Chains A and B, each alone.
Chain A
């Protein structure tokens, strides 16, 4: 069984400030971890993913995330927020089952950027 907890359903930051979105996971097997972004009334776009290897993962739009096994965390960060970063962000964990990778999503964190 696997689960994802995203701390904070809504986060507000000022333009130019650090963005930190928190994600903790539970998984009985080594996890694959993902961050997706969703703009209003649109589908999800992959920001970055961790499978194996380097624990600091860089993604699109200046985002990065660090896999910390000891803390079962995969927090998403960006050094300087832009207005265009305002969206909802979903953390997800995946495990292989019967040859298909099934994603379990967190409930999402809505990011607001204040000018």
Chain B
């Protein structure tokens, strides 16, 4: 089955701890994206990557970091510098130069 997996579905962390969210795709897509979703705010782009070992900041990159060592994987680290990390995080992917993005099921992060 082709698709995008995000793990874990729910994640709880203490304030001040870094946490890494996993995103894996077996669709052979070149581009991958991370979005943050807050109630009533829509989705906001954190980072995106079009190719292995390259990534670009989105609209709200502060306090986040990413890596793209493999085509199929694009993990997101929420650092202690992110002031309000509690949110629903969505990963997406698309073929390069495609207008359509496909989304994973999301990870809900709660910082206590």
Contacts and interface: CB of A to CB of B under 8 A. Distances in A.
A56 to B, nearest CB: 18
Given A32-B99, A100-B31, A101-B99, A43 B105 contact: yes
Main secondary structure of the interface of A (DSSP, over half): strand
B98 A101 contact: yes
Nearest to B31: A100
Interface string B78-95: 000000000010101010
Interface residues of B, number: 30
B100 interface: yes
Contact of B106 (A4, A43, A103, A108): A43
Q: B6, B88, B96, B103: which has the most chain A beta carbons within 10 Å?
A: B103
Contact of B40 (A9, A32, A41, A42): A9
Nearest to B104: A43
B111 interface: no
Contacts of B88: 41
Given A42-B105, A46-B100, A94-B99, A101 B94 contact: yes
A107 B42 contact: yes
Interface residues of A, number: 25
A100 B50 contact: yes
A59 B102 CA distance: 16
Interface in A1-57: 4, 9, 32, 34, 36, 41-46, 49, 51
Given A43-B106, A108-B40, A103 B45 contact: yes
Given A90-B42, A103-B45, A42 B106 contact: yes
A67 interface: no
B112 interface: no
Interface of A: 4, 9, 32, 34, 36, 41-46, 49, 51, 90, 94, 98-103, 105-108
Given A105-B42, A107-B40, A107-B41, 7 more contacts: A42-B106, A43-B6, A43-B104, A44-B103, A100-B31, A102-B58, A103-B43
Ranked nearest first, the 8 interchain pairs of A and B with the lowest CB-CB distance are A43-B103, A105-B42, A107-B42, A44-B103, A105-B43, A43-B105, A101-B99, A32-B99
